[in-house]
């Protein structure tokens, strides 16, 4: 199936920029739409542009290896209906029509593509109703459409699944000076598919762009597998940072930054334990950013997830190692320290090895509430480090606590997997 | 598709036992055949038995939840052709015919099921040619079949893909006192499919049973991911032990035994380091048995693989920990010990986490020759432990060596994955 993307409008309220190429959550609006459509089986794009933005959009399409056909609307002032009409010779019988300046998320595109006709939202969550195009439905088909309808039941999402029949309604009004897409759609009396509660936005102003950015970053956070401290503290901070950073750095850069801050915190132990603990906790907060940015900007990678895990193990090991070293442990206390390091490691190993064995996520398969996750351990270490001035026993107690919690957690994990998966 | 399994013969050369129920590589011959057929889409079995073995075979089929229909041959002395003929009302147009006392491996069954007619082996590797049933082929169809053919080109594997037509050739000779399957097959002039070099055996004597047991255990060893010491030393011993143990213990029991021996070796460090090293190396050899037994007896489980990995980490950690403890390390030497423990851990973590991220095996994807695998580490530890009487510096040198090798290996792993997978 092909998709027609309308990009011939002028982004007047955005200072005459090429709106579809504005970045939201680390990606051009257009990249986001085309990528999501592509992931769902749309393999070619008919992009209607104007003479002004043609070069920028064509460069973009080339750079990102999309399979496209450019259609130039020499009279963009004749309206988006006219732009749509110009695409008629380049589509097959059934095709998708999408506005170039609307932002959708993955779930919206997936669900919308299962629909037919005009995709409407009965309960739009992120749209200014006054500015929205309203739709009146009768017997499952469109009756009226427009911004100023008094009587309406849902809102046009700018996403359509159409057949070529629609173009004949365009031909009926082709002599008009301005042809609105909504006029064509109203005449066609096409079906309406209602979907509700999913993310989509019409980005008309800089404020809406910022809002879309924020919402996409927030929606990238799933919470699965997060510990208590992460849910209550770390994520609240990291999500705000991700909003600011998502258009500026890549996920792998974020991974590297939090790794370097973590290594720095381990070195700091040699100079000031409380300061080291604080920086360690900061690195734990920063550690959330790579994943958030990656998901929000559709840049998740298997390599990124792998590298992040491996580097986290190094940071955790080195922090406990330097902390133990500066605490001048005796032989028996070193045993405790080793159990703390090993236990911390095994918390991750058991669940990661689980994924390698069962090809599903441990935290998806089990609602496992036992404490000892990384965010919780680091927060505990941070708190104890603040009180290190009270003497060596604070650090030894901390190490013993971590040793006990983590190894108990591992034993519990083994028990749960044994109970549920021993015949798998 | 259904399969007819002929079990009405008397295992005279095996002391009148129920041959299909003899165990080879931890499983009854019949379990092996039915399971492999089932794994390849055969969903029902028509099992022809005699009055003597009927109860034993029916109990077996029930116990293992196979979907079956029992057909009793009241005159087994009339031959295997007669047994075959009795199955005629219970099969569909196309079906599999297999001898109840032949042993096949997974690959044989998979390949054979893609064939048509009589499955023949041009180059049987594990069969006594004098005793084998030879086949003469003409234009892709069977011309003659028998034990004493002078002119022949391949050997009957006892595995057939047939259609109901064959029964009409049985009816032509139904009045004979003894009806051989080979007579029916020869008359039918069915197609011949040749496959070569795969594992199958006709088990007629206790010696052949032992040989099949040994071969199936050997074939269970793939070598992928094994280190140098494992290939050259450990596997040679563990495979012999597996041959002896495969009919006696389960894979999980083998996992537990090698774990307990490993833990015991760690405790032994408190008493005698050379002895501990020796027992540790023995546990490393025993560690191969669970996987060998599991594969040979078709008992591989995701849980087994997971548990084995987790327990290995505990053994490795505890051995280095007690070794460090008895060596009275100073603060700086403990740092070295921790790097050795951590590095040993990370060798496994990076590759296991790789599987969780990329859903493929690291050692499958890369031909990675860097030393530092578990079998190599343990052998190195074993050697150094023998010389621990020379003084503490031996142990410190060992720990430093392990720390360097393992962590270098991890860094190399990161580099390789970065180079090959950073865009995945």
Q: What share of chain A is helix, strand, coil (3-state, %, to 5)?
A: 55, 15, 30
Q: Looking at the DSSP assignment, which residues form a beta bridge with residue B4?
A: B46, B97
Separation CA A219–CA A240 (nearest Å): 12
Q: How many other CB atoms are there within 10 angstroms of residue B138's CB atom? A: 11
Q: Which residues of B32-65 are buried (b: 16+ CB within 10 A; e: fewer)?
A: bbbbbbbeeebebbbbbbbeebbeebeebbeeee
Cross-chain Cβ contact A345/B349 below 8 Å:
yes
Cross-chain Cβ contact A335/B325 below 8 Å:
yes
Distance from CA of A37 to the nearest CA of B (A): 20
Residues of chain A contacting B350 with CB distance shorter than 8 Å: 310
Cross-chain Cβ contact B317/A310 below 8 Å:
no
Cross-chain Cβ contact B307/A418 below 8 Å:
yes
Contacts of A222 (CB under 8 A, 6+ apart): A295
Test the A interface: residue of B308, B357, B408 with most A CBs within 10 Å: B357
Q: Looking at the DSSP assignment, which residues form a beta bridge with residue A4?
A: A46, A97
Cross-chain Cβ contact B338/A338 below 8 Å:
yes
Cross-chain Cβ contact A335/B348 below 8 Å:
no
Alpha carbon of residue A328 to chain centroid = 45
Q: Least CB-CB distance to A331: which of B325, B338, B345?
A: B325
Residues of chain B contacting A354 with CB distance shorter than 8 Å: 306, 356
Nearest to B25 by CA among B218, B238, B205: B218
Q: Looking at the DSSP assignment, which residues form a beta bridge with residue A102?
A: A202
Separation CA B22–CA B202 (nearest Å): 13
Test the B interface: residue of A353, A359, A366, A409 with most B CBs within 10 Å: A353
Cross-chain Cβ contact A303/B422 below 8 Å:
yes
R_g over Cα of chain A:
27
B387 phi/psi in degrees, rounded to 5 = -105, 20
A297 phi/psi in degrees, rounded to 5 = -100, 15
Q: Which two tokens stand for residue B315?
A: 């053994």
Separation CA B261–CA A340 (nearest Å): 24
Q: Which residue of B has its CA nearest to A410?
A: B310
Cross-chain Cβ contact A352/B352 below 8 Å:
yes
Q: What is the pLDDT of residue B167?
A: 94
Residues of chain B contacting A350 with CB distance shorter than 8 Å: 310
SS3 state at B262: helix
Separation CA A187–CA B120 (nearest Å): 71
Q: Which two tokens stand for residue A330?
A: 């005796």
What Cα–Cα distance (Å) separates residue B16 from each residue in B22, B203, B205, B208, B317? 11, 13, 11, 16, 53
- Are B196 and B157 in contact by the 8 Å Cβ rule? The answer is no
Separation CA B266–CA B279 (nearest Å): 9
What Cα–Cα distance (Å) separates residue A341 from each residue in A172, A316, A325, A401, B201? 75, 8, 13, 11, 52
Contacts of A152 (CB under 8 A, 6+ apart): A134, A135, A136, A144
Separation CA B246–CA B27 (nearest Å): 9
Q: Looking at the DSSP assignment, which residues form a beta bridge with residue A200?
A: A104
Test the A interface: residue of B320, B334, B364, B395 with most A CBs within 10 Å: B334
Distance from CA of B280 to the nearest CA of A (A): 19
Q: What is the pLDDT of residue B423?
A: 85
**DSSP string of A64-126?**
TT--EEEEEES-GGG-HHHHHHHTGGG--SEEEEEETTEEE-HHHHHHHTTS-EEEEESS-SS
* CATH no. for B222-421: 1.20.120.1760
Test the B interface: residue of A357, A374, A403, A409 with most B CBs within 10 Å: A357
Separation CA B230–CA B236 (nearest Å): 8
Separation CA A186–CA A22 (nearest Å): 30
**DSSP string of A1-40?**
-EEEEE--S-BGGGTSB-GGGSEETTEEHHHHHHHHHHHT
Residues of chain A contacting B409 with CB distance shorter than 8 Å: none
Residues of chain A contacting B339 with CB distance shorter than 8 Å: 321
Q: How far apart are the first and last CA of chain B?
A: 41
- Are B97 and B7 in contact by the 8 Å Cβ rule? The answer is no
Looking from the CA of A375 toward its CB, the CA atoms found within 13 Å total: 18
Distance from CA of A418 to the nearest CA of B (A): 7
Contacts of B60 (CB under 8 A, 6+ apart): B21, B28, B30, B31
Domain ranges of chain A: 2-215, 224-421
Q: Which residue of A has its CA nearest to B338?
A: A338
Helix residue spans in A230-330 (DSSP H): 235-245, 251-268, 273-286, 289-296, 302-326
Q: Which two tokens stand for residue B146?
A: 């028998």
Q: What is the pLDDT of residue A241?
A: 96
Test the B interface: residue of A315, A330, A334 with most B CBs within 10 Å: A334
Residues of chain A contacting B340 with CB distance shorter than 8 Å: none
Q: Which residue of A has its CA nearest to B421?
A: A303
Nearest to A401 by CA among A330, A320, A282: A320
Distance from CA of B216 to the nearest CA of A (A): 23
Q: What is the pLDDT of residue A422?
A: 87
Cross-chain Cβ contact B303/A422 below 8 Å:
yes
Mean of the per-residue pLDDT values of chain B: 93
Which tens digits make up the pLDDT trace of B320-338? 999 999 999 999 999 999 9
Q: Which two tokens stand for residue B418?
A: 């970065």
Q: In the CATH scheme, what architecture does the domain A2-215 have?
A: Alpha-Beta Complex (3.90)
pLDDT by residue for chain A (424 residues), tens only, comes to 999 999 998 766 666 788 899 999 999 999 999 999 999 999 999 999 999 999 999 999 999 999 999 999 999 999 999 999 999 999 999 999 999 989 999 999 999 999 999 999 998 888 888 888 999 999 999 999 998 899 999 999 999 999 999 999 999 999 999 999 999 999 999 999 999 889 999 888 889 999 999 999 998 887 777 899 999 999 999 999 999 999 999 999 999 999 999 999 999 999 999 999 999 999 999 999 999 999 999 999 999 999 999 999 999 999 999 999 999 999 999 999 999 999 999 999 999 999 999 999 999 999 888 999 999 999 999 999 999 999 999 999 999 999 999 999 999 999 999 999 988 8
> A224-421: same fold as A2-215?
no
pLDDT by residue for chain B (424 residues), tens only, comes to 999 999 998 766 666 788 899 999 999 999 999 999 999 999 999 999 999 999 999 999 999 999 999 999 999 999 999 999 999 999 999 999 999 989 999 999 999 999 999 999 998 888 888 888 999 999 999 999 998 899 999 999 999 999 999 999 999 999 999 999 999 999 999 999 999 889 999 888 889 999 999 999 998 887 777 899 999 999 999 999 999 999 999 999 999 999 999 999 999 999 999 999 999 999 999 999 999 999 999 999 999 999 999 999 999 999 999 999 999 999 999 999 999 999 999 999 999 999 999 999 999 999 888 999 999 999 999 999 999 999 999 999 999 999 999 999 999 999 999 999 988 8
Cross-chain Cβ contact B422/A334 below 8 Å:
no
Q: Which two tokens stand for residue A415?
A: 């028990």
Nearest to A372 by CA among A333, A393, A342: A342
Q: Is beta strand A44-50 parallel, antiparallel or unpaired with respect to A134-138?
A: unpaired
SS3 state at A162: strand
Q: Looking at the DSSP assignment, which residues form a beta bridge with residue A192?
A: A118
Residues of chain B contacting A353 with CB distance shorter than 8 Å: 306, 309-310, 352, 356
- Are B284 and B333 in contact by the 8 Å Cβ rule? The answer is no
Q: Least CB-CB distance to A303: which of B303, B339, B424?
A: B424
SS3 state at B280: helix
Domain A224-421 class, CATH top level: mainly alpha
């Amino acid at each position: 199936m092909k998709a027609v993307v309308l990009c011939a409008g002028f982004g007047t309220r955005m200072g005459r920029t090429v709106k579809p190429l504005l970045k939201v959550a680390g990606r051009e609006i257009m990249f986001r739409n085309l990528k999501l459509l592509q992931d769902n089986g749309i393999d070619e794009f008919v992009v209607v542009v104007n003479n002004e933005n043609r070069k920028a959009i064509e460069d973009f399409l080339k750079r990102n290896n999309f399979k496209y056909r450019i259609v130039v609307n020499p009279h963009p002032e004749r309206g988006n209906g006219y732009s749509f009409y110009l695409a008629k010779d380049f589509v097959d019988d059934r095709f998708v029509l999408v506005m170039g300046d609307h932002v959708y998320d993955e779930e919206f595109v997936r669900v919308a593509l299962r629909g037919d006709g005009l995709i409407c939202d009965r309960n739009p969550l992120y749209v200014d109703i006054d500015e929205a195009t309203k739709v009146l439905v009768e017997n499952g088909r469109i009756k009226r459409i427009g911004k100023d309808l008094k009587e309406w039941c849902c809102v046009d999402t700018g996403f359509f699944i159409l057949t070529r029949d629609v173009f004949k309604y365009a031909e009926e009004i082709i002599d008009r000076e301005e042809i609105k897409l909504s006029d064509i759609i109203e005449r066609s009396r096409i079906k309406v598919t209602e979907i509700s509660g999913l993310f989509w936005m019409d980005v008309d102003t800089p404020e809406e762009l910022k809002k879309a950015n924020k919402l996409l970053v927030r929606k990238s956070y799933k919470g699965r597998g997060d510990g208590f401290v992460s849910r209550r503290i770390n994520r609240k901070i990291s999500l705000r940072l991700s909003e600011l950073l998502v258009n500026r750095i890549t996920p792998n850069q974020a991974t590297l930054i939090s790794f370097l801050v973590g290594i720095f915190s381990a070195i700091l132990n040699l100079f000031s334990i409380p300061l080291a603990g604080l920086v360690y906790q900061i690195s734990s907060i920063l550690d959330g950013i790579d994943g958030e940015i990656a998901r929000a900007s559709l840049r998740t990678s298997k390599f990124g997830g792998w590298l992040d895990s491996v580097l986290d193990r190094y940071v955790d090991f080195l922090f406990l190692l330097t902390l133990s070293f500066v605490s001048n442990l005796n032989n028996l206390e070193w045993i405790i320290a080793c159990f703390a390091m090993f236990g911390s490691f095994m918390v991750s190993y058991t669940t990661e090895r689980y994924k390698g064995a069962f090809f599903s996520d441990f935290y998806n398969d089990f609602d496992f509430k036992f404490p000892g996750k990384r965010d919780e351990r680091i927060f505990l270490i941070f708190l104890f480090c603040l009180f290190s001035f009270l003497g060596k026993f604070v650090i030894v107690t901390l190490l013993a606590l971590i040793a006990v919690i983590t190894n108990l957690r591992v034993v519990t994990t083994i028990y749960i997997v044994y109970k549920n998966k021993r015949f798998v």
